[in-house]
């Protein structure tokens, strides 16, 4: 009896601790939860990418029927009328030690000092390049989330918007395909907040919707950087 009486307070203390712990951690294992984690790291700052992600419209993915690259206009159109194709504009923006074929338009060579998808240094040589210009929001993904309802002018604008374009490692870009945040993220983790914020910015700017899984994935990444601002094009 003495042994039972002395053990009772310890048993009660353990039970109380488990109850408290269960209250604190009860939501962490909830499958598919879209709520941000508790505490400062989960609070969306005003004007942040996290707040913008939370406001994106959620719908199901539409069929890919009818999609073709030509539906987004000619590749690398000069939409800003600076007499340089969009591809060269992005190369000039993202590469270092840029050299030109002639004048200051066609980029002949340069260095991607830190590829945002792998964190590595990649050399660009025109005609033998290991650098691609990636559509951060893939055009086929945009097609299935609202762009098929647009006119050709708006689709061309999306395809050539610097906000939606990054110079990246070519092999990694091709493995990404048309993945959204729910299915693909850069292996180089320091780039993930900026990458997801850029996807949110594009989808907000063009009123593209997201799937439920995509929105949850966006919020999971951005809850780790709640003050990350939306990039501007």
Which has more pLDDT, 3 or 147?
147
Q: Are 212 and 61 in contact (CB under 8 A)?
A: no
Collapsing DSSP to helix, strand or coil, 108 comes out as strand
Q: φ and ψ at 171, to 5 degrees?
A: -65, -35
Question: How far, in Å, CA of 119 to CA of 32, rounded?
Answer: 30
Q: For 197-208, what is the mean pLDDT?
A: 98
Structure confidence at residue 129 (pLDDT) = 84
Structure confidence at residue 47 (pLDDT) = 81
Q: For 154-176, what is the mean pLDDT?
A: 96
Domain locations along the chain: 37-60+72-222
Structure confidence at residue 45 (pLDDT) = 72
Q: φ and ψ at 149, to 5 degrees?
A: -90, -5
42 pLDDT band, cuts 50/70/90, is low
Which has more pLDDT, 128 or 193?
193
**Does residue 205 register a pLDDT over 50?**
yes
Which has more pLDDT, 30 or 17?
17
152 pLDDT band, cuts 50/70/90, is very high
Collapsing DSSP to helix, strand or coil, 96 comes out as strand
Read off the pTM.
0.80
């Amino acid at each position: 009896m003495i042994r039972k009486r002395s053990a009772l307070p310890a048993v009660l203390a353990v039970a109380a601790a488990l109850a408290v712990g269960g209250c604190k951690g009860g939501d962490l294992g909830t499958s598919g939860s879209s709520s941000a984690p508790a505490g400062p790291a989960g609070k969306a700052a005003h004007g942040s990418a996290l707040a913008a992600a939370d406001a994106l419209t959620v719908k199901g993915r539409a069929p890919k029927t009818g999609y073709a690259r030509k539906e987004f206009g000619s590749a690398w159109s000069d939409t800003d009328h600076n007499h340089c194709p969009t591809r060269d504009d992005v190369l000039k923006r993202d590469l270092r030690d840029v050299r030109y074929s002639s004048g200051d338009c066609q980029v002949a060579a340069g260095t991607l000092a830190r590829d945002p998808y792998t964190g590595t240094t990649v050399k660009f040589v025109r005609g033998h390049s290991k650098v691609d210009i990636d559509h951060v929001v893939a055009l086929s993904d945009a097609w299935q989330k609202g762009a098929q309802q647009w006119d050709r002018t708006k689709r061309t604008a999306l395809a050539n918007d610097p906000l939606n374009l990054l110079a990246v490692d070519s092999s990694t870009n091709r493995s990404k395909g048309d993945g959204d945040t729910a299915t693909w993220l850069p292996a180089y983790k320091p780039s993930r907040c900026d990458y997801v914020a850029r996807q949110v910015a594009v989808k907000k700017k063009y009123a593209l919707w997201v799937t439920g899984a995509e929105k949850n994935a966006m919020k999971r990444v951005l809850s780790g950087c709640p003050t990350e601002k939306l990039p501007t094009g």
